[in-house]
């Protein structure tokens, strides 16, 4: 069990949490996660909350391999209206902002978000970690090499598990020294990693428990699933469920997913066996 202090709202995790994905983007890798109008964002958030999402993670920047990086100004234009509307309509819901820009993080927390999810763990914007410390919200630090534009070429490791672990140990220490109290680690499935790297990390996930901090796994509908199964991303729900189950068995505390209902069922069945 762990707790996260989300701007005074205490999120108590006596079982694994579900983080639902909402992308306010036109170009995220899975079309079913794209919600570009305010009405659609609110409708999807309500659906996820009813289905049992503990956190709603909203992002305005596609981070699929080779995506075009947009500016802070454009990203804010995409996410601020949705965050403000979510905060007003669902005030008890924990909203996370998925960004690697410190300015976006600051503005979104002021608008109602109470968690920051950074795919770069502060490597793209060096002001991110001190900014989150000042904001006093939980921080997801994810492993990546390079940027979404270069990460495919950076997918080279002598020992993926050891190198990702070393990176996250260093980042957790950096976050704690900066004053971030609630750090969540994410091995970064699909980011600067091949399919084999992803599966090795999932197999060895329990090793990351040595950091004594919540572990987030975001493998929902990713190419490691649909390429292995030779299916389109739209048919990757069953594979996602399998890998989410393995993630829980190996120590995951938070599942970041496109499909909340199915992930919630995984948690319920896992809990019936292991708790």
Query: pLDDT exceeding 90 applies to what percent of the chain?
Result: 85
**Which residues contact residue 73 at a Cβ distance below 8 angstroms, ignoring those fewer than 6 apart?**
none
Is residue 258 over pLDDT 80? yes
What are the tens digits of pLDDT across the range 204-235? 999 999 999 999 999 999 999 999 999 999 99
**Closest-CA residue to 193 (of 225, 230, 224):** 224
Q: In what order do the strands lie in the sheet with 216-217?
A: 183-186, 139-142, 115-118, 94-98, 55-59, 17-23, 254-257, 216-217
Work out the mean pLDDT of the chain and round it to a whole number: 94
How far is 89 from 46, CA to CA, in rounded Å?
A: 9
Could you list the beta-strand ranges (E) of 148-224: 183-186, 216-217
Token pair recorded at residue 51:
């289905």
Write the DSSP assignment of 11-70 as a string of letters: EEESS-EEEEEEE--S--S-GGGB--SHHHHHHHHHHHHHHT-SEEEEESS--STTPPPP
What residues act catalytically?
A: 222, 256
Domain 16-274 has CATH 3.60.40.10: no
Work out the average pLDDT over 98-118.
98
- Nearest-angstrom CA–CA distance, 235 and 155: 26
The domain limits of the chain are: 16-274
Maximum separation of any 2 CA atoms in the chain, in Å: 48
Please classify residue 211 by burial: count the beta carbons closer than 10 Å to its beta carbon, then call 0-12 exposed, 13-18 middle and 19+ buried: middle
Q: Quick one: pLDDT at residue 129?
A: 98
Reading the block at residue 140, the tokens are 């997801």
Cα–Cα distance list, 59 to 54, 76, 118, 258 (Å): 17, 10, 10, 13
Q: Which pTM value belongs to this model? A: 0.95
Q: How does residue 141 score in pLDDT terms, banded at 50, 70 and 90?
A: very high
153: burial class by Cβ within 10 Å (0-12, 13-18, 19+)?
exposed
Query: Is residue 68 very low, low, confident or very high in pLDDT (cuts 50, 70, 90)?
Result: confident
Among the ranges given (37-51, 132-146, 184-198), the one the predictor scored with the smallest mean pLDDT = 37-51
């Amino acid at each position: 069990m762990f707790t996260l202090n989300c701007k005074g709202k205490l999120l108590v995790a006596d079982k694994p949490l579900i983080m639902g994905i909402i992308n306010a983007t036109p170009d995220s890798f899975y079309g079913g996660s794209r919600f570009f109008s305010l009405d659609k964002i609110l409708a999807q958030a309500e659906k996820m909350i009813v289905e049992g999402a503990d956190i709603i993670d909203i992002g305005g920047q596609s981070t699929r391999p080779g995506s075009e990086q947009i500016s802070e100004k454009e990203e804010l234009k995409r996410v601020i209206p949705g965050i403000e509307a979510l905060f007003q309509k669902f005030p008890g819901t924990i909203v996370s902002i998925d960004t690697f820009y410190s300015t976006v993080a600051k503005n979104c927390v002021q608008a109602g978000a109470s968690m920051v999810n950074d795919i770069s763990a502060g490597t793209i914007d060096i002001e991110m970690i001190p900014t989150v410390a000042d904001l006093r919200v939980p921080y997801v630090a994810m492993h990546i090499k390079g940027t979404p534009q270069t990460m495919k070429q950076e997918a080279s490791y002598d020992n993926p598990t050891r190198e990702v672990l070393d990176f996250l140990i260093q980042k957790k220490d950096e976050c704690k020294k900066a004053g971030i109290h609630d750090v969540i680690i994410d091995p970064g499935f699909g980011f600067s990693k091949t399919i084999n790297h992803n599966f090795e990390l999932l197999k060895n996930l329990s090793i990351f428990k040595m950091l004594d901090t919540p572990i987030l796994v975001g493998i929902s509908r990713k190419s490691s699933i649909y390429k292995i199964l030779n299916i389109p991303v739209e048919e990757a729900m069953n594979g996602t469920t399998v890998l989410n189950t393995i993630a829980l068995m190996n120590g995951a505390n938070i599942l970041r997913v496109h499909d909340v209902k199915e992930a919630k069922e995984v948690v319920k069945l896992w809990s019936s066996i292991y708790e």
